[in-house]
Amino acid sequence: MSGASLLQVWEGRPPHAWRTAWGLPALEIRASIGSTNDRAGELAAAGVPAFSVVIAEEQTAGRGRSGRRWASPPGMGLWMSIVLRPEAVTPRPLLSVALGAVVASALETLVTPAVPGLKWPNDVEIAGRKVGGILCETGGAAGTGAVIAGIGINVRQRADDFDPELRENATSVLLATGLYVDRAELAGRILHLVHEWLVPAPRKLEGELARHVARFDLLRGRQVVTSDGASGLAAGIAPDGALLIADERGARRRVLAGSVTLTRDPRRRERVP
């Protein structure tokens, strides 16, 4: 990887100033890169400490969940990956779900009165549209034990900046709220909250963390159908990060992976039995 695309200044300050301000062991900020997750994986395999971070102005091969492309145009968003080194195995969806709540919570402080939320398992939404997503990856270049937590947030796109097929469901902070949010401020708040909630990595969603996640859970009390055909009332998130779906008799089913569609008026929340 050439050092030629390393940025000397990002959001008005040199990377070492952000590294110090955010208390990171290492921070790399690139003008352009394939995927920050790949670069963070390489660094993890080379032995960088936990909480090392990669940010890029542009990703040319940004990845989303299920192998989807994640459009990452230059200067428009926060494209960031964090090397985590959990001491114990963290159940699959738990980290994504907790990170999604962390991102929603960091955004909330910057966009009030808009209300960001988490759409299980990894989408961050404002006003019913996706503003960001989380991609946690293990294995590969990340090396034994490391988890690469990739965070993508659309910050400054206008409607025309999105591919036509994304326009209906995607948004940016600017589009959804009219606010120009400072990306460094947003990154700093996310990293602070990651430290607060996810270091050490939780083994279960319980106690205060469970309540924090529940506060941002956009699905609870809504009628949903999952990509594997389960339908019913979203009834919260289980300790391992699984989505709970209740049928008419109140029996709960756990869903560990997939995506979810709301089947009724998204503004209507029902009481969870």
Min dist. Cβ of residue 248 to ligand BTN (A): 31
Judged by DSSP in three states, 204 sits in coil
Tell me: does residue 93 bind ligand BTN (CB under 6 A): no
Minimum distance from residue 273 beta carbon to ligand BTN (Å) = 30
How many residues contact ligand BTN, by CB under 6 A? 22
Least separation in angstroms between CB 244 and ligand BTN: 21
Q: Which tokens hold the place of 155?
A: 């910050």
Neighbour count for residue 114 (Cβ, 10 Å): 16
Please state the closest distance from residue 150 (CB atom) to ligand BTN, in A.
3
Q: Which of 105, 122, 171, 172: binder of ligand BTN (CB under 6 A)?
A: 122
Q: Fill in the per-residue mask, 42 to 81: x = in contact with ligand BTN (CB under 6 A), - = not in contact.
A: -----------------x--xxxx--x-x-x------xxx
> Exposed, middle or buried by CB within 10 Å (0-12, 13-18, 19+), for 202?
buried
* CA 144 and chain centroid, separation: 22
> 267 exposed, middle or buried (CB, 10 Å; 0-12, 13-18, 19+)?
exposed
| Preceding peptide of 15 cis, ω within 30° | no
According to the binding rule CB under 6 A, does residue 202 interact with ligand BTN?
A: no
Question: d(Cα 48, Cα 123) in Å, to the nearest integer?
Answer: 28
Of 108-116, 133-141, 180-188, 202-210: span binding ligand BTN (CB under 6 A): 133-141
